[in-house]
Structure 1
Amino acid sequence: MKRLRTFLVSHGLDAVIVILACAAALTISTQADSSRPDGVRLGVEMVAVVVMTLSLLLRHRAPFLIPAGTWLLSAVLSIVDGSLVVGEAPVSIVGMIAAVLLGDLRDRRQARVGLAVVVASAVTVIYQDPAHTVGDLFFVPGLFAVGWLVGFALHERTEQTEAAEERAARAEWKRENEGRVAVAEERARIARELHDVVAHAVSVMVLQVGALRHRLPAEDVVSRDTLQNVEEAGRNALTEMRRLLDAMRREGDHHDRAPQPGLDQIEALLDDVRAAGLDARLKVHGEPVQLSPGLDLSAYRIAQEGLTNVIKHAHTRHAEVHLRYGMHDLELEILDHGEGPAASDGLGHGLVGVSERVKLYGGTMTAGATESGGFALRARLPLEPR
C-alpha cells in the first residue's frame, strides 16, 4: 500500500493523462456521426487531440507553456471542427486539468495570464459549437475558471505548507546549532575548571621533586640531574596549560583564583540556596569516601545545577539532595515536589553541563518528572581509584 500510495502521488496524474489520451482517440475513431469528418481529416484530428493531451506529460519542463498551449490548441481545433472539442468528454477533462495547472503556477503573473487564456479559449470553443446557447458562453468558461481557482487555492496551501516546513527546518537547525554551541561552551568551562585541579596537582609534584632534589647529596649528580629535568618538565607543562587556558577563555572572562569547590562545601551551597528562599535538605546514604579532585568538583557542580533548576523552574519551596555512596559509584539525586518540567523554548541548556560532566567520567544521567508530579535529576558517577 505504501508503494502504491507513493506511485500515485508521483505518477498518478501522468497515468490519468495517458488514459485520457487513449480514451479520446478511441472515442473519436469509433463515433458514428455523419456530420463528423472521416478519412485523413479524422486521423489528423485524432492525432492532434492525442498530442494535445500527452503534451501535459511535459508540464514540469514548461509549467506555463504546456497547459496554456493545450487550451490554445483546443481553440484552434474548434475553429477547424466546431464539434470536436465539446463533443469529447476526455478532452473536456484534459481542459479542466490544464486550467487547474495554470492556477497552480508559482508565478502569480503567469497564473493570471493563464486564467485569461482559459476563459478566452473556452469562449472560442463554445462559440464554434453549432449547438451552443447564450448561456453556454457564460456557464462553460465560468466552470473552467472555477477549476483555475481550485488550482490557485491548492498553490496557496502548498506555499503555506512549504513555508511551515521551512520554518520548522530552520528552527530545528537553530536548536541543533545552539545545542552544539552549548556543548562546546560547557566543555570549555569544564576544562577551565579542571585546569585548576590538574595545575594544583602538577604544582605539588614539581615542589616535591624540587625539595627532594635539594636533599640529595652533591655527589649524586645523575639523580639530581634527573630530578631537575622532571622539575623543568613539570614547570613547562604548567606554562603550556596556562597558555591553553588563556586560549580557551572567552573575551571578558575573568580569571577566578578561588579554589574549586567540592562536596565538602555542599552545606555552604545549601545555605546560599536557603537564603534564596528554597528549603533544601541534604541526605547522605552510605559511608562517604574521598573522591578524586575532578570527580569531587563535578559532583558539586551537578548538585549546584540541579538546585538552580529547582529555583528557576519548579515553583516550589522544598527540595532534597541525596548523596548515595556505593562500593563502585556515587549517585546524586536532586528531587523537588514542584510543577515538574516546564515548557521550554529550547534555549535552556542547564542540563547540558551535567550531561557533559557525567559523560566525562563514564557515568549515566536521567532527568524527568516523578510519579508525584515533581522533577528529579539523577546522576551516577563511577568512583575512581584513589
Structure 2
Amino acid sequence: MGDGYTARLAPRWRWLLVVASLAVSVPVLWFEPAVLGVAGARVVAAVLVVVQALALWLVDVRPWAGTAVVLAAGAGFQVLFPAFGPGIAFVVLCTYAWLRPASDSLRMLGLAVVAVCGPAAAQQRWLAAGLWLGACLLAWSWGAQARARGARRAAERRQAALEERARIARELHDVLSHTVSVMVVQAAAAGDVFDVNPAKAREALRRTEETGRQALAELRWFLRTVRESDGDESGPQPSLDDLERLAESVRGAGLAVEVVREGEGAVPMAVQLGAYRIVQEALTNALRHARGSRATVHVRIDDGALVVHVQDDGRGGASPWANKGSGQGLAGMRERARLLGGVFTAGPHPGGGFRVEARLPIGEATGGTA
C-alpha cells in the first residue's frame, strides 16, 4: 500500500548518478581480478560498468528493475575484484528508499543486504560484511526519512489547499447568500403587490436593484482578494460599522431588525469581519427559513471578548433553520468562531424563536458601555 506521495528524480540528478557510477566503477578495470584471468575479468567488468550506468539512468522510471540491476552489478564487481567493495550500491539503495514507499523499499533492503554482504561473507571477509550491513541499513534509513519528510510536506500542502478551498467556499457563501436571499424576497413582494399597489412594487424593485449592486460590489472585492497573493485585502471589508446597513437591507425584505451595540474598545478587523459574517448568516437564515417578523442583534464588548447575540421570533423551536438550506449556515458560523479562538452556540430559545451567540476574544479586557 502506498503513502500517497510521489517522488521523482530531476534529470540533472539522473545525470549525476550516472557520472558518479562511471567515476566509481571505471577504476575497477585497473584492479587485480580474483577470477577469470586479467583479460576476461576486465571485459566482464567493462560490460558491468555500462549496464550499471544504463540501469541508473532508468532508476527513476523503472525503480525496482534499475536498482536490482545496479545491486547485481555491484555484487559482480565484488566477486571479480574483492578490493572494490559495493561501489554505488548504497547511493542507489538510498535513492530507492526515497522513491518508493517503505513497504516496498524494505524488500529492496533485503535484496541489497544479500547483494552487498553476500560476496564478502562468501569470501569470509566478516568485518567487511558487517560494515556493508551497517552501511545498507544507514543508506535505507536516510532515504526513508527523506521520503517521510517529503510526504509530510505534501500532506501539509494538501491540507492547506483544502482549508483554502473551504475558506473560499465559506466566504463566497457569505457574500452571496444574504444579498441573493434578500433579492428573492423583495422580488416576490413586488410581484404580490404589482397590480394593487404599483408604487410599493416599484419601491421593492428599487430595493432589489440596490441589493444586487451591493452583491456585485462584495463579489468584486471577494474575487480581488482571492486573486491577490500578497495577502493585501484592501477594499470594502465589512465591519461592525456596517451592521446597520446590513439590518436596513433585511428590513427592506420584511424582517424588522434592531441593532444594539454596547461597550467601547479596539476590535481587530478579523474579529469584526467574523462577527459581521455571523450576524449576516443568522439574519439571512431567519429571513429565509424562520418566517419571523422581528430579530434582535446585540453586539457588546465584554471582558476582553466581542459577544454577538442574534435572536429572531420565528419558528426556531419547531423547525430550526439550522437543518435547512445548503448546510453552510451553522457549520460556517461555528468554524468562523473556532478560527478566531472563540465559542459558538445556537439553538431554539425557550421563549420562542432561534438564538445564535458567539463569543470572540479580542485581547485584553475593555470595559465601559456606549
For normalisation by structure 1, the TM-score amounts to 0.48
For 2:101 and 2:140, how far apart are their aligned partners in 1?
Answer: 14
**Residues 89-147 of structure 1: per-residue CA shift (max 9 Å, x gap):** xx62x211122133335343322211111111111232356xx7432221222112211
Q: In 2, Cα distance between the equivalents of 1:19 and 1:28?
A: 15
Q: Which residue matches 1:171?
A: 163
Contact 1:103 1:152 (C-alpha < 8 Å) held by counterparts: yes
CA RMSD of aligned residues (A): 5.0
Deviation at 1:21, TM superposition (A): 3.3
Q: 1:99 aligns with which of 93, 115, 126?
A: 93
Contact persistence 2:94–2:143 (CA under 8 A)? yes
- Mind listing any 5+ residue stretches in structure 2 that lack a counterpart? 1-7, 209-248, 265-279, 284-294, 308-335, 343-364
| Runs of 4+ in structure 1 over 4 Å off | 32-38, 196-205, 307-314
Residues 206/95 of structure 1: CA separation in 2 closer, same or farther (3 Å cut): same
Aligned to 1:368: none
Is structure 2 residue 128 aligned with structure 1 residue 139?
Answer: no
Query: How many angstroms apart in 2 are the aligned matches of 1:313 and 1:186?
Result: 31
SS for the counterpart of 1:269 is strand
> How many residue pairs get matched?
241
Q: Per the alignment, in what secondary structure is the counterpart of residue 261 of structure 1?
A: helix
Identity of aligned residues (%): 16
Letter in 2 for 1:109: S
Distance 1:117 1:308 in 2: 71
Matches within 5 A, 1:197-216: 198=190, 202=194, 206=198
Please tell me whether the aligned partners of residues 52 and 73 of structure 1 are also in contact (alpha carbons under 8 angstroms). Answer: yes
Q: What are the superposed Cα offsets for residues 279-333 of structure 1, whole Å, 9 maximum, x if unpaired? A: 59xxxxxxxxxxxxxxxxx9xx9xxx9x76666998369xxxxxxxxxxxxxxxx
Q: Deviations over 1:23-75 (max 9, x none)?
A: 2454234x375879544541331221232133122122222232133213322
Judging changes above 3 Å, is the alpha-carbon distance between structure 1 residues 136 and 40 closer, same or farther for their aligned structure 2 residues? closer
Residues 1:345 and 2:339 aligned together:
yes
> How do 1:188-267 residues align onto structure 2 when only pairs under 5 Å count?
188-195=180-187, 198=190, 202=194, 206=198, 261=251
Deviation sequence 1:263-291 (CA, Å, 0-9, x none): xx99x835xx16xxx159xxxxxxxxxxx
Is the alpha carbon distance of 1:74 and 1:26 closer, same or farther for their aligned partners in structure 2, counting shifts above 3 Å? closer
Query: Map of 1:58-69 to 2, 5 A cutoff?
Result: 58-69=58-69
* Greater Rg over alpha carbons, structure: 1
Unaligned 5+ residue runs, structure 1?
1-7, 209-233, 242-258, 281-297, 318-341, 349-372, 375-386
Tell whether the 8 Å contact from 1:175 to 1:346 is kept in structure 2 after alignment.
Answer: no
1:150 aligns with: 142
Asked if 1 retains the 8 angstrom alpha-carbon contact of 2:25 and 2:49, the reply is: yes
Tell me if structure 2 keeps the 8 A contact 1:104–1:154. Answer: yes
Which residue of the other structure, out of 153, 156, 162, is the alignment partner of 1:161?
153
- Compared with structure 1, are the counterparts of its residues 139 and 9 closer, same or farther at alpha carbon in structure 2 (3 Å cutoff)? closer
